[in-house]
Amino acid sequence: MMYSLTMENTMSFRSQADRFMTAIQTRRRNPVKAGTMAVYQSHLNSSILPALGEKPLSDIENGTLKAFVAELSSRGLSASTINGMISLIKQVVASAVDTNGNQLCPRTWNSDFMDLPVVNPRSQKAPV
């Protein structure tokens, strides 16, 4: 599997994000569409990697994301955008697996603790 690592070989969030992006494009089961890839890459380049890229993957936890959510909120980003970025971060962390497919950094994510904004479909700018 292309995006696995061992416990002895800790890596940065940036390294795992690169592996994740390559894997989701080339996988046979549900490959990601080009539009989704563009959104993911944009989120990574604009906000996620500058803030979290050099942190060890094992350090990306609820507290880290709580501070990141606060930063994104202070920049005036929409609830939907913030939730999308957090979802991507969670996918990158979950993608680090051992040779048996077991997650190396299993997490129980806590949206309330992170103070993740609630997406209200009525307030979204979604033209018909």
- DSSP, collapsed to helix, strand or coil, labels residue 48 as helix
Cα(111)–Cα(90) distance, integer angstroms: 12
CA nearest neighbour of 84 among 53, 116, 61, 57:
116
- pLDDT score for 2: 43
Question: What pLDDT shows up at residue 14?
Answer: 97
User: Does position 10 have pLDDT exceeding 90, yes or no?
Assistant: no
Write the CB contacts of 60 (distance below 8 Å, at least 6 apart in sequence): 13, 52, 89, 93, 105
pLDDT over 70 percentage in the chain: 88
Average pLDDT over residues 76-98: 95
Mean pLDDT of the chain: 89
- At residue 120, the pLDDT reads 79
Distance CA 69, CA 104 (A): 24
pLDDT of residue 92: 97
Give me the mean pLDDT over the 59-86 stretch. 96
pLDDT in the model for residue 119:
86
Task: Quote the pLDDT of residue 75.
Answer: 96
